[in-house]
Amino acid sequence: MAQPKILPLLLTATLCCLSALPSRTAASGGGGGKPLVTAITKDAATSLYTAPLRDGRPLVLDLSGPLVWTTCEPEHETLECHHRECVHAHAYHPPRCPHTGNGVADEADRFRCKCTAHPYNPSTGAAATGDLTRVALAANATDGRNPLRPVSFPAVASCAPDAHLAKLPAAAAGVAGLARARLALPAQVARAQGVADKFALCLPSGGGGQGVAIFGGGPLFLLPPGGQDVTARLAGGAALRRSPESPGYYVSAKSVAVNQQQVPLSVHGPLAVELSSTTPYTVLRPDVYAPFVKAFDDATAERKRVTPPAPAPFELCYDSRELGSTRLGYAVPQVDLVLEGGSNWTVFGGNSMVQVSDDTACFAFLRMEEGKKGGYGEGAAAPAVVIGGFQMENNLLVFDEEKRQLGFSGLLFGRQTTCSNFNFTLAA
Ligand SMILES: *[C@@H]1O[C@H](CO)[C@@H](O)[C@H](O)[C@H]1NC(C)=O
Ligand SMILES: *[C@@H]1O[C@H](CO)[C@@H](O)[C@H](O)[C@H]1NC(C)=O
Ligand SMILES: *[C@@H]1O[C@H](CO)[C@@H](O)[C@H](O)[C@H]1NC(C)=O
């Protein structure tokens, strides 16, 4: 494949690390140093979010995944075990996956050690073993307003057997890990395109059209025309934290509030909050969930409930015809995650109430199953809160690895727009 292209790429990567500079390198991909834009679709059957990055075939977006993985052609390039990318592919080890070393003898050349990696399926919780290879991914270069032109770029990816696609959306060809790891997609795009190691993620709601992601960060404009760069007018943010053995995104919260009243918790000290695009609804650790749901229950005591409070898994359901609407969704008490650093992640009705039938809406926060955190860093203490996809929809998020900072716009309905308002018409 694109062998001559790869060498200069590796050289720039090496040079960059030797001089310990931030990962901003000279433009080298076909995108001319421009950020890349891709559309995002929410799969109705699985509630997973995908982007058509692999020859138009979708890859599932996984904020907690350190690798890109996909099914491969029988004939494919393999990287060698001593290759630095092989070492990076083993920086994080999936749960319940035997340690088998960095590779195996190559059947084609028994003196060669062929690198293998462990792709992790966030839906089934299963890990597999596959060759570390290079694949071509595709997106469009963008100025933040429109796609400008298609760009194909090589990415290091792990192969996976077909069976490893279980429980992913029907058309999906694999997973694009977006975590804080060298072989995750944002860092690879940064090196291939010579753009910043950051990305903007705007997840669409189900049935609400396509969302958008821009690798390389902003600017990002949403219709109606004349609007400002959303990434330049964020409502809040917080420092990104690390959790042992997990490459995912964590922030730290001081407290949780319902209706601007602090929820009394039995735990003291900071609350670890993870962001997960493969968790459909926000889950809270049982010690946080119980007082939190009680606070929301109390604050909505006057509202008409739907009894029995089915359907599972929701605990609090309401007659939605009587909830009342605002432009931020149903008129229910707001939920605040009071973050370290002074800003609040505020959840309004649009992100807290899910419509489960024509006249029933349920409070879309769930109890974390005890002892069943799953995913990378499984051995570490469970975070207090895992913010799920539904609570991130129509809220533009900027994950900036260079500044180690998360930024968010807040619910875009407040700005008369949504994540489905990117203009995907190719610029003339
Ligand atoms: C680039 O954008 C055009 C216009 O939206 C779209 O049809 C095409 O599929 C995009 N290409 C890629 C590789 O995403
Ligand atoms: C954050 O939320 C808390 C609880 O609702 C509130 O007391 C505080 O004033 C809010 N802070 C900001 C900066 O909005
Ligand atoms: C979308 O972008 C195209 C190309 O720049 C432009 O012609 C069109 O007017 C835009 N659509 C809207 C609704 O602004």
**Residues in contact with 174: Cβ distance below 8 Å, sequence separation at least 6, in sequence order:** 54, 59, 60, 68, 69, 70, 71, 119, 157, 160, 165, 168
**118-132 as b/e: b if 16+ CB within 10 A:** bbbbbbeebbbbbbb
Assign 269 a pLDDT band (cuts: 50, 70, 90): confident
Q: For residues 313 and 321, give the distance between their C-alpha atoms in angstroms, rounded to a whole number.
A: 21
140 C-alpha vs ligand 3 centroid, how far in Å? Answer: 16
Question: Over 80: is that where the pLDDT of 397 sits?
Answer: yes
Give the per-residue pLDDT at 308.
61
Each residue of 216-252: pLDDT tens digit? 998 999 999 888 999 999 999 999 999 988 999 999 9
For residue 43, is pLDDT > 80?
A: yes
Using most ligand atoms within 8 A of CB, pick from 146, 149, 424 the residue to mutate for ligand 1.
424
With bands split at pLDDT 50, 70 and 90, how would you rate the model's confidence at 373?
A: low
**CA–CA dist 209, 242 (Å, integer):** 33
- Of the bound ligands, which one is closest to the alpha carbon of residue 262? 2
Nearest CA-CA partner of 271 in 294, 259, 289? 289
Residue 247 Cα, ligand 3 centroid: separation in angstroms? 38
Nearest CA to ligand 2 atom 14: 344
Tell me the chain's radius of gyration from C-alpha atoms. Answer: 22
> How far apart are the CA of 342 and the centre of ligand 2, in A?
8
Please, which pLDDT band fits residue 116 given cuts at 50, 70 and 90?
very high
The pLDDT, as a whole number, for residue 30 is 54
CA–CA gap between residue 262 and residue 406 (Å, rounded):
23
**Position 119 pLDDT exceeds 50:** yes
- Ligand nearest to C-alpha 423: 3
Pocket test for ligand 2, best of 344, 345, 347, 352 (most atoms within 8 A of CB): 344
pLDDT of residue 304: 95
What's the CA-to-centroid distance between 259 and ligand 2, angstroms? Answer: 10
**Confidence band of 370 (pLDDT split at 50, 70, 90):** confident
Residue 287, H or E segment: helix 286-299
The C-alpha atoms of residue 353 and residue 412 are separated, in whole angstroms, by 16
**Cβ(147) – ligand 1 distance below 6 Å:** yes
- pLDDT at residue 100 in the model: 87
The residues pairing with 37 across neighbouring beta strands, listed in sequence order, are 140, 214
Tell me, what's the pLDDT at 311?
A: 65
Residue for token pair 């494949």: 1
For residue 59, which of 142, 144, 132, 164 has the smallest C-alpha distance? 164
Work out whether strand 103-106 and strand 317-319 pair parallel, antiparallel, or are unpaired: unpaired
Instruction: State the distance from the centre of ligand 2 to the C-alpha of 74, rounded, in angstroms.
Output: 56
pLDDT at 23 over 80: no
Quote the CA–CA distance of 9 and 67 in Å, as a whole number: 18
Tell me the CA distances in angstroms from 165 to 51, 96, 125, 172, 424, one per residue in order: 15, 18, 11, 7, 28
Mean of pLDDT over the chain = 91
- Separation of CA 217 and ligand 1 centre (Å): 18
Integer angstrom CA distances of residue 69 from 58, 161, 190: 12, 10, 18
Res 333: pLDDT: 98
From atom 13 of ligand 1, which residue's Cα is the shortest distance away? 139
The vertex-96 CA angle with 90 and 98, nearest 5°, equals: 55
Q: What is the pLDDT of residue 26?
A: 36
Share of the chain above pLDDT 90, in %: 80
Task: Decide: 38 in ligand 1 pocket, CB within 6 A.
Answer: yes
Which residues have C-beta atoms less than 6 Å from ligand 2?
257, 260, 336, 338, 342-344
pLDDT at position 419 is 98
